[in-house]
Amino acid sequence: MEKQGEHDLDYMSGVFDRISKNLEKEVIVYHIGGNAMCWHALKDTTKDADLVLTSESEANSLKHALSNSGFLEVEVVSLPGYEHMNQYAVFDEIAETPLNQEFAPGLRIELFLNQICGGFEFSDAMRSRSIHAKDRGLLREYYCSAEDIFLFKSITKRERDLSDMYKIYESKPDFDIVRAELKNQIKTRKHLAESVKNTLKSLGEKYDISIELL
């Protein structure tokens, strides 16, 4: 059941079916946020769908398809809280709401190109851990492992992501995988270590848990 402004897998499936019909070439996307958690059955709904792509050509093809599928591109600089997320593009679905019903926001789709949330590189290991979700014509969908979603959410600096991290924690992910990926990432992105440490401290204080990754 959908909450106001949030969307479940069935709704998102219909949206991606529509988008796939407007693609002119094969595009591979990886679900990485709350939408990926829906695929893992860790959430019922999400406000937006975060997708990472590894090819700029495919990202531009998807942007074109989104524009032809009832989506409007939004200037990232005008969105509060998005200043350091480094999205490649953000699109809002133009939802048609009957006059006798309260307006319900459509799905927001955020595109990342190789780099996620202003920090992590979408590594080969992350790609290999991703799980095939569905093929829709020219659109091939995968969703990231719970371990990698946990890492992505550790650097967003958004309060709501703490509750998502706790849900993943309760699902008993393999923290050896999380730890190994983080150590590889900070070899070239040392600034991420402090951000992750601060988030884990906040997570621990809020939920009375302890997670050591570094």
Q: Which residues contact 106 (CB under 8 A, 6 or more apart)?
A: 70, 92, 93, 94, 95
Buried b (16+ CB within 10 A) or exposed e, 160-194: ebbebbebbbeeebeeebbbebbeebbeebeebee
pLDDT at 1: 44
pLDDT at 159: 83
Question: Which pTM value belongs to this model?
Answer: 0.91
Q: What are phi and psi of 120, to 5 degrees?
A: -70, 140
Q: Which stretches within 86-190 are classed as H helix?
A: 124-129, 146-153, 159-170, 175-185
- Does residue 59 contact residue 111 with C-beta atoms inside 8 Å? yes
Structural domains of the chain, with CATH: 9-207 (3.30.460)
Buried b (16+ CB within 10 A) or exposed e, 69-98: bbbeebeeeeeeebeebebbbbbbbeeeee
Question: How many CB atoms neighbour CB 24 within 10 A?
Answer: 10
pLDDT tens string, the chain, 214 residues long: the values are 445 579 999 999 999 999 999 999 999 999 999 999 999 999 999 999 999 999 999 999 999 999 999 999 998 765 555 555 678 999 999 866 555 555 456 899 999 999 997 789 999 999 999 999 999 999 999 999 999 999 999 998 788 899 999 999 999 999 999 999 999 999 999 989 999 999 999 999 999 999 999 7
